[in-house]
Amino acid sequence: MATDSTGTVLTFPRPPQRIVSLNPDFTSNLLALGIEERVVGGTDFCLLPGGEKVGSLSHPDLEKIVALLPDLVLATREGNRPQTVAALRRAGIKVFVAAPCSDFDGYYSLLFHLGFLLDREEAAGRVVLRIREEISEVEASVKDLSRPRVLLQLGAGPIVAVNRQTIIHRAIQAAGGINVTADWPNRYPVLSRETVLSLDPDVIVVAIMGEEGIWGARQWSDFPRLRAVREGRVFTLDPDLICRLTPRLGEGVDRLAALIHRPGEKAGEERP
């Protein structure tokens, strides 16, 4: 038995054997728990070795999901629409809805929930232990260093950052930086160029996929008065490493620390 973030209590006579994942993060975690053969469906963005693609996060193909006869669908409160969850539940399908994670412990709790639901508690424990150790090593390595002020950018048009209610904020802290938008009221504040100029961060890290990320980072070269531009400390970072709740989180924190503190050592290839 488990209770999800909507207060719904889920019970199973045995661990679910047919799972549909409506979020790429879930899919990555399921694979890390060693149950890829049980994942019968995922979104178009899920990296599935097998299974059916069921559409996007916001508008999945409900008929296709029902046809897969899942005994569990995994969804998120932040990434999937309540209408999708309600429609699946009306069809008699059990849906576990996860809450947004604002810190590392929230992610570890999610992994333990998945382990409990799927009878993979030991595997979940091993994954959590590894991530904890990786992050602890990074925190120890930056403990005595100065803490540069960091803008971590998730969107280029408009400019989107993160506040302290996000796990990305916690990653910036663990990597030895200070999040310049920590105290903004929205989880993902939208900034103007003028606001960024007034914040004048020491480091700008653009974590946006593909060409948009490269373009977003290069745009800052038009603002040489920014300290990060003057000192050559504008970088791109694969958003899969830092923006998703996956077992690569420890690697992402390490890469972020390299950009913040050791750009010449490990992050030269990340310059735009």
Question: Is residue 167 domain-shared with residue 81, that is, in the same domain?
Answer: no
Q: Please give the Cα distance from 266 to 264 (Å, whole number).
A: 6
Question: Is residue 149 domain-shared with residue 92, that is, in the same domain?
Answer: no
Q: Please give the Cα distance from 35 to 24 (Å, whole number).
A: 15
- The helix/strand count (H/E) of the chain reads as 12, 14
126: in domain: no
Question: Is residue 189 domain-shared with residue 81, that is, in the same domain?
Answer: no
Split into its structural domains, the chain has a count of 2
Which tokens go with 134?
């990786």
Question: Is residue 74 domain-shared with residue 156, that is, in the same domain?
Answer: no
User: What is the reported pLDDT for 266?
Assistant: 40
Long-range contacts of 192-199 (CB under 8 A, 24+ apart): 192/159, 193/159, 193/223, 196/151, 196/159, 196/223, 196/226, 197/223, 197/225, 197/226, 199/149, 199/151
- How many other C-beta atoms lie within 10 A of the C-beta of residue 245? 22
Read off the pLDDT of residues 128-185 as tens digits, 9 standing for 90 and up. 999 999 999 999 999 999 999 999 999 888 999 999 999 999 999 999 999 999 999 9
Question: Is residue 151 domain-shared with residue 214, that is, in the same domain?
Answer: yes
- The CB-side HSE value for 86 (13 A sphere, CA atoms) comes to 3
The residue ranges of the chain whose pLDDT is under 70 are: 263-272
71: in domain: yes
Q: What is the CATH number of the domain that holds 151?
A: 3.40.50.1980
Which tokens go with 264?
């010449």
Which tokens go with 242?
């830092």
User: What is the reported pLDDT for 79?
Assistant: 82
Last residue of a domain, one of 64, 83, 100: 100
The whole-model pTM stands at 0.89
**Do residues 107 and 249 make contact, with C-beta atoms less than 8 angstroms apart?**
yes
Could you tell me which residues come within 8 angstroms of residue 50 by beta carbon, excluding any fewer than 6 positions away?
36, 37, 39
251: in domain: yes
Cα–Cα separations (whole angstroms), residue 236 to 9, 41, 54, 92, 206? 42, 32, 31, 44, 5
**Do residues 77 and 6 make contact, with C-beta atoms less than 8 angstroms apart?**
yes
129: in domain: no
Question: Is residue 171 domain-shared with residue 251, that is, in the same domain?
Answer: yes
133: in domain: no
Q: Please give the Cα distance from 51 to 22 (Å, whole number).
A: 13
User: What is the domain range of residue 48?
Assistant: 2-100
Question: Is residue 91 domain-shared with residue 153, that is, in the same domain?
Answer: no
User: What is the reported pLDDT for 263?
Assistant: 59
120: in domain: no
Given its phi and psi angles, is residue 7 left (phi above 0), alpha (psi -120 to 50 degrees) or beta?
A: left
